[in-house]
Structures are given as C-alpha cells and as structure tokens.
Chain A
Amino acid sequence: MLEAIYTIISLQLLILAIVPYLVLRRWAVNLLERCAERRKHHFEPYVLNLLNDPTAIEPLEHRLFPGDRKFIKELLLQLAAQLKGQDRCNMTTAFEKIGYVKNEMSALLSRRWWRRLEAAINLGTMQSQMAVAALIDAVRDPVEDVRLAAVMALGQLNEPRGLRLLIRIIEEGDRWTGSHIVEALISMGPEITSKIIPRLEATTNINARLLYVQICGLLQITEALDSLFLLLRDPDKETRISVAKTLGQIGDVSAVENLIISLDDESWEARAQAAKAIGSLGDKQAVDKLKRALSDENWWVRHNAADALYRLGEEGIEALHETSCSEEKAPRATAAQVLAERALGV
C-alpha cells in the first residue's frame, strides 16, 4: 500500500514540476512577444513601402536576422490578404523575388503535415503562378486539410491547369469535399463558364451535377439557362430544388414561366424555392399563381410566395391585402405578417 502512495505522490510531484516550467515559459514567451512587437513596428515602414515599389526588397534582404525573416513574411502575408488588384500583383512579385515562393514550395514536401498545410495556404495568399505544379501534386496529399488548402490555393491562382484538376475532382469526389471546390472555383470568376456548361449537361454523377448547378447560380451564368430549364423537370428532387434556387440567383426574367410550373412541384422545398426565385426575378405575370400558392399547406411555400408578391410591386401588394382579409386562416396570417414586416422595413 505504501508503495502505491509513493507512486501517486511522485506522479503528483512530476506533474507539479511541469507547472514551474510552464510559468517560466509563459513569462519568457510574454517577454519575447513584446520584443517581437517592437521589432515588427520597426519593419513596418519598409514593408509598407514594398507596396509602392516591390524591388525595394533588395536592400532589405541584407539587414535581416533569421528571426526577422519570419516577421517580414508574416507581415507580408497579412498585408497581401487585405489587398487585391494591382497591389496584390506587386506583392506577388515581391514574394517571388525574396524567395518565399520557392521556400513554401519546398515546404510542401515537408514530413510534418501542418507545415505542408501552412505552405499550401501561404502559396494561395502569394498567388504566384510558379507554384501551380507543386499545388497540383499537393491535391493528392494523404491529409485532408492539406488537400483542401491546395484546392483553395489553386482557386486563388486562377490557372487553367488548376481548373481542369478541380473539375476532375468534382466528378470523382464526394459531396462534402465538393463544397470547398465550389468555393475555389467561384473565386476563379466567370472565366470558368465555358468549362462548366458542357459538364453540367454531360455528367452522370448526380452530386457533381448539383455542384455545377450551384456554381451556375453563384456566378450567374446566363448561358446555362436552357440546360437548367431541362433540369427543372428532373426526377431527382434535390436537383429541382437546386435549379429553382439557381434560377433566382441568375436573375434572368425568362426563367419565370418555367418557375411558375414549379409552383406545383410535388416537393415543398422545390415549390418554396420557386416562389422565392420568382420574387427575385420580378415578373408580374406570376401574381395570380403566387396568390394561389398562398394557400399552400407548407409554411415556407406560403411565406416565400407572400414575400415574392410584395416584391412584385403594386399588383402583388394588392393581392396580399386581399388575402389578409380572406377567410382561410393560414393565408390570412401569412399575408398579414409579411405586409407588417415589409412596412417596418425588415
């Protein structure tokens, strides 16, 4: 028994020994952080000047201690994240000249996964085209976080090879990884349109198609309208819901006729999204149909229809007023609430 007590007590002392170490470490870290702050302040003017003239980095190189490199890098990356346009391009040039890009590209091969993760993220921030090939390799990394970071970085680089790869991943991968790719793709902007539309029609993978539909909405790709109209009648419920939402986001009034038909869809989500989309598109021919949708059994459909009516202007608002005096409880309550909310401006 006594041995047990001794073991426990020694364990206790061992753990307690960690505490002074941590206290000292904390004191030291606090001190170092204060020094680091001062050093950072010292470098800030030089770093900011780089925004005006990227070649100014050369004189800077010579005065650097190893610890300073880290500050400069951090500072530069933080600044880069806050900029876009010509200034960002200037920073990219600066990064390439100092050698950070090469540095991070070799870090992509590090054995520690968090270092690879950091490298992928930094390469995305630096937006240097030199790193494309390395990032494409990193998309095959065994660790999920690194793969995602590489994908997002390729999105920021806006490069055709990267685009092809991302599309291939959508076709292969599962839905969840796909949503990050959607973000990466939309950050590339409208240039990807010509690649997306053929995939939208050709793909047999339902999940992939859902992602393409989503992208069409987020990038407002009007060229995809015809394909989308066809998909609005697709047997898959999720597809119909997603297409209805997308048609609202694209903002082309020609979609209204098709959406009106969707107000009779068997899925309430599809009906609700259709009502919402019609509201965004603003075509008065929908007023009667929307008024009928106010009697839908589902709360969301009624609510979105009421909202849409309000947005359609005079005729819509009049329809709402009529319904708010109707005998049926549900449409009356919905119309009344939406009228009151809009009147307040919420």
Chain B
Amino acid sequence: MQSDSILISIILGFNIAILIYFVAINGNYFVLLVISYFSMLRYRRHIEHEQWQRIIQSPLTIPVSIIVPAYNEELTIEESVKSLLMLEYPEFEVIVVNDGSADNTLGKLETSFNLHPIPADIEEKVPCQQILGLYRSPDNPSLVAADKINGGKADALNAGINVSRYPVICAIDADSLIEGGALLRVTKPFLERPGKTVAVGGIVRVANGCTIEAGSVLHVGLSRAWLPLIQAVEYLRAFLFGRSGWSALNSLLIISGAFGIFRKDVVIAVGGYRRGSLAEDVELVVRMHRYLREQRREYEMRFLSDPVCWTEVPESLSILGRQRNRWQRGLIDSLRIHRRMMLNPRYGIIGMVAFPYFVFFEMLAPVVELLGYIIVPISYALGMVDFSFFALFLTVAILIGVILSTGAVVLEELFYRRYPKTSDIVRLVAAAFLENFGYRQLTVWWRVKAFWDYFTGKTAWGKMERKGFIKTLGGRSDSNRCI
C-alpha cells in the first residue's frame, strides 16, 4: 500500500512538473512574441523610409567577402553563383570553396565562368585543409574559386576566410538564394555601429512554391504540398519571433549558416569555424559570445527581418527527419562544448538567460514533450489524474501552439506581406493548425532519437540529395545547416 501511494505521488508529481514545463515554455514564447511585435513595429518605421539608392552609392559602404562552401553541388552551383554575382552591392567578392567534391562541381564552375588558375598566395589565418588551387575569371572579376582537399563544411568556410580580402565575411549555403537587396540591408548595422556590430543574421524563408528563374525569385508563393507549407509557418515562427525577440534582448545565440555576416577579425580571433562540428554556425556564434565576454568587449549581434535568403526545404518525411536529427545533434554538441557558460555570471545575459533557455527549452524540450505525451494520457487512462487536468494538458501542449503559430502568421501579415495572394494567408493559417496536430509531434520524435544517436556516437552528416532548384512544383533537396 505504502509503495503504491509513493508511486502514485511520484507519477502525479511528474504530471504536474510536465504541465508546468509546458506552461513555462509556451509562456516564454509568448514573451518573445510580444517583444518581437514591438521591436518590429519600431524597426518597420526605420526601414520604410530608408533610401537604399543613396546607400548603394555611398563611398562608405563596407566591402564584403561572400563564402560559399560547395560539396557535390554540380547541379545547382552555377545558378547559385550567378545569383550571387548579381547582388546589388558596391564592392564584394564571391569565394566558392570546392571542398574536394566527388562530382564535377569544379568543372562546372570552370566552364560556366571561364575560370583560370592562378598561383595562390594565401596566408593561413585560421586552420584548414590544404588549398590545392585558386581560380579567377576575367569575365567576373568578383569571383574567386578555391579548390581544396575535403575537410567538411566548417573547414571549407575556414579556407574561404583565408582566401578572403575584405573585413566582413558572409557565410552562406550553396543552395541559398539571397535576394538582390539583401546584402545592402544586412550590412547596415556595420555602417551604423561600426565599432560594436560583430555579427548580423538575416531571415531565411522557404523557397518551395516560389517561381525561380536563373537564381532570381520572380514571384513569391506557397507550395501546394503540405509539408513545405507547414515548414514555411515553422520558419516564420522560428525567425519572426525566435530570432527577433532574442535579438531585441541582445542575446542572439544562433545566426543561421544560410545567411550570416561576421566581422572577420573576430572570427579569426576565435579560431574560425570548428572542424567536424555538426552545427558549425551555432557553435561559432556561441564561441564568439564566449570570447567577447571574456575579453569584456562591448558588442552587438543582431537579427534583421528584412534581408531575405530563400532556401529549399525537404519535401519528403525521410529527408526532413534526417535534417532535424542533424540539427538537434548539432545543438546538443555546441551546447555541450561550451557548457561552462551555463548560468555563469561572467557571461552576462548570455550565460544567465539565453544559454540556460536553450538548454532547457530548446535542447531538452523534445524529451520532456515526449514524456508528456506518454505519461499524461496513461495517467488519465489509469484514473490518476482527472479530466480537467488532462484537458488542461492538451490545451497547453497543443492549442497554445496553434495560437503561437497563428501569431507568427499574423506578424508576417502585419509587417511583411511577402505573400501576395489573399489565399496565401488562409493557407498559412491552416498550416498553423496542422503544424501542431501531428507535425510538431513528429519533430519531437526525430529530435529525441537524435539524443540517442548523439550519445551512441553517430557523428556522420548523413546522405545528402540535391535535385536542382525547384520551379513551381516538386524537387527534392536537403540542406546541410542548422536553422
């Protein structure tokens, strides 16, 4: 009898703890939503009247080195590079790093852009695998291609840093499509606060469903398939209130590897990207925070919601699952490496608020959620908790999610309106519902499995598949980066 009642109390305790956790995590999201709303309201006024024509002609803009790590990208590399070369920006260079591709990536580049090899004089400022050759194009003076021994994405980025000439680097993915005016917008904080700004991130939007031609997004649209549609809402949620909110608090812990701008001297000072990292973009930013705080330097890392990078998202569950698995492993890895920042007052708001938040509410969330989905219904079935508790649990776990996702769609509609048709908003709201009734639970499962994979030592990246840029339908792809 005694052991029974102890058991029951424990289970009851679990139930209550889980409920509290859900309330906490969703409460946090609400706070972020509100912060994001107000910060966007202010920001919108600033950019409404910005005179981009003037800025582009200004002699004071900072030159940027764009680094594109490429591994087995022969299908899309030509389009990507073409679209980068057309960016509206006064002075920049595009450095494509061929990371020892097994396919014809380099060959494609050579023919499309008329590349010629030149003797390389490269100073190794951050460690990387040997660079075999450097190529330039007389038709495209801003293009530089580097060929090197395979070393992984982080290594390729480091090679790009070594080859680059300009004080600011922009790390992007080979399959990202950066909008024409995005570079101008994303470097604005460097002009406004040159001493303080060290990193800026732009927003990543889902390209599936957009009309794309020769690397330019001609018309914005939503995919007809459900999976990319739901991901469109998911990305809106993650960026419009996740990043926005944290940026407003100057505690941005993640800048997407699909579109991130960094001051080169700081990146070099921290040693460049970490080789073999599963989420090198997250790891770098966390390490930069650590370094700058230890140096007691005043700095700012910002997220801007108007410079846009379009990216293809997986359209099949299996590829999506692999992607989320890798992201979660990357997150765990990065947080584990820098665990000494956790609740350490030396690291200011990052150590005391952002880092613990990411550990408890981003990294551990899937575990708690999974436990919740198992324990609470069973407890209810066994009569240990009453109906009102169960209903409350369901409301907090699922229904609030719907509110938050709809909130993201509302923010998008209030401030950005990138989707032109009225029917688009309706579909986004529908997707906001569906996201929470099944999709989210699926990602929870993938992410929990990632924990298992991580601790049993699986460190591989998993197989990538690329099928070329999608037009208005179809296309399968994977993306090797953390959101």
A–B direct contact (CB < 8 Å): yes
CB of A83 within 8 A of chain B? Answer: no
Q: List the A side residues contacting B407 at CB < 8 Å.
A: 15
- Minimum CB–CB distance from A265 to chain B (whole Å) comes to 20
Within 8 A of B (CB), among A174-212: 176, 179, 182-183, 186
Q: List the B side residues contacting A18 at CB < 8 Å.
A: 410
Which residue of chain A is the closest to B119 with respect to CB atoms?
A336
CB of A333 within 8 A of chain B? Answer: yes
Which residue of chain B is the closest to A81 with respect to CB atoms?
B53
Within 8 A of A (CB), among B382-408: 388-389, 391-392, 395-396, 399-400, 402-403, 406-407
- Minimum CB–CB distance from A297 to chain B (whole Å) comes to 11
Say yes or no: A4-B141 contact (C-beta < 8 A), given A12-B402, A336-B119. Answer: no
Q: What are the interface flags for B63-104 relative to A under an 8 Å C-beta threshold, 1 for contact and 0 otherwise?
A: 000000000000000000000000000000000000000000
- From B120, B136, B421, A346 is in contact (CB under 8 Å) with B136
Q: List the B side residues contacting A299 at CB < 8 Å.
A: 121, 123
CB of B456 within 8 A of chain A? Answer: no
Within 8 A of B (CB), among A79-135: 81, 113-114, 117-118, 121
Q: List the B side residues contacting A117 at CB < 8 Å.
A: 45, 49
Binds A, one of B187-195, B261-269, B440-448: B187-195
CB of A168 within 8 A of chain B? Answer: no
Within 8 A of A (CB), among B150-201: 191-194
Cα–Cα, bound, A90→B377 (Å):
76
CB of B107 within 8 A of chain A? Answer: no
- Minimum CB–CB distance from A10 to chain B (whole Å) comes to 11
CB of A266 within 8 A of chain B? Answer: no
CB of B58 within 8 A of chain A? Answer: yes
By the criterion CB–CB under 8 Å, are B58 and A183 in contact? yes
Say yes or no: A336-B422 contact (C-beta < 8 A), given A12-B399, A16-B406, A346-B138. Answer: no
Q: List the A side residues contacting B426 at CB < 8 Å.
A: 23
By the criterion CB–CB under 8 Å, are B422 and A1 in contact? no
By the criterion CB–CB under 8 Å, are A344 and B403 in contact? no
By the criterion CB–CB under 8 Å, are B392 and A1 in contact? yes
CB of B59 within 8 A of chain A? Answer: yes
Cα–Cα, bound, A284→B54 (Å):
38
CB of A325 within 8 A of chain B? Answer: no
CB of B116 within 8 A of chain A? Answer: yes
Say yes or no: A23-B119 contact (C-beta < 8 A), given A12-B399, A114-B48, A183-B58. Answer: no
Q: Which of B118, B191, B389, B400 has the most CB of A within 10 A?
A: B118
By the criterion CB–CB under 8 Å, are B395 and A8 in contact? yes
Cα–Cα, bound, A117→B49 (Å):
8
Interface secondary structure of A, over-half rule: helix
CB of B425 within 8 A of chain A? Answer: yes
- Minimum CB–CB distance from B58 to chain A (whole Å) comes to 6
Q: List the A side residues contacting B48 at CB < 8 Å.
A: 114
By the criterion CB–CB under 8 Å, are B60 and A1 in contact? no
By the criterion CB–CB under 8 Å, are A15 and B410 in contact? yes
Q: List the B side residues contacting A145 at CB < 8 Å.
A: 46, 49
By the criterion CB–CB under 8 Å, are A12 and B60 in contact? no
CB of A9 within 8 A of chain B? Answer: yes
By the criterion CB–CB under 8 Å, are B413 and A333 in contact? no
CB of A11 within 8 A of chain B? Answer: yes
Cα–Cα, bound, A182→B54 (Å):
13
By the criterion CB–CB under 8 Å, are B422 and A30 in contact? yes
By the criterion CB–CB under 8 Å, are A340 and B119 in contact? yes
Say yes or no: A337-B425 contact (C-beta < 8 A), given A152-B54, A179-B191. Answer: no
Say yes or no: A333-B395 contact (C-beta < 8 A), given A5-B388, A179-B60, A346-B138. Answer: no
- From B45, B409, B420, B422, A114 is in contact (CB under 8 Å) with B45
By the criterion CB–CB under 8 Å, are A8 and B399 in contact? yes
CB of A69 within 8 A of chain B? Answer: no
Cα–Cα, bound, A8→B30 (Å):
13
Q: Which of B60, B391, B420, B422 has the most CB of A within 10 A?
A: B422
By the criterion CB–CB under 8 Å, are A5 and B391 in contact? yes
Cα–Cα, bound, A19→B402 (Å):
13
Q: List the B side residues contacting A337 at CB < 8 Å.
A: 118-121, 134
CB of B5 within 8 A of chain A? Answer: no
By the criterion CB–CB under 8 Å, are B54 and A218 in contact? no
Say yes or no: A341-B406 contact (C-beta < 8 A), given A8-B396, A9-B399, A22-B425. Answer: no
Interface residues, chain B, CB within 8 Å of chain A?
45-46, 48-49, 51, 53-54, 58-60, 116, 118-121, 123, 134, 136-138, 141, 191-194, 388-389, 391-392, 395-396, 399-400, 402-403, 406-407, 409-410, 413-414, 417, 420-422, 425-426, 429
> Given A5-B395, A330-B121, 11 more contacts at CB 8 Å?
A8-B396, A8-B399, A12-B400, A19-B410, A23-B422, A30-B421, A117-B45, A121-B49, A121-B51, A341-B136, A344-B136
Interface residues, chain A, CB within 8 Å of chain B?
1-2, 4-5, 8-9, 11-12, 15-16, 18-19, 22-23, 26-27, 30, 81, 113-114, 117-118, 121, 145, 149, 152, 176, 179, 182-183, 186, 218, 299, 303, 330, 333-334, 336-337, 340-341, 344-346
CB<8 Å pairs between A and B, sample of 21 = A4-B395, A5-B391, A5-B395, A8-B395, A22-B413, A22-B425, A30-B422, A81-B53, A114-B45, A114-B49, A117-B45, A152-B51, A176-B194, A183-B60, A333-B119, A337-B118, A340-B118, A341-B118, A341-B136, A344-B118, A345-B138
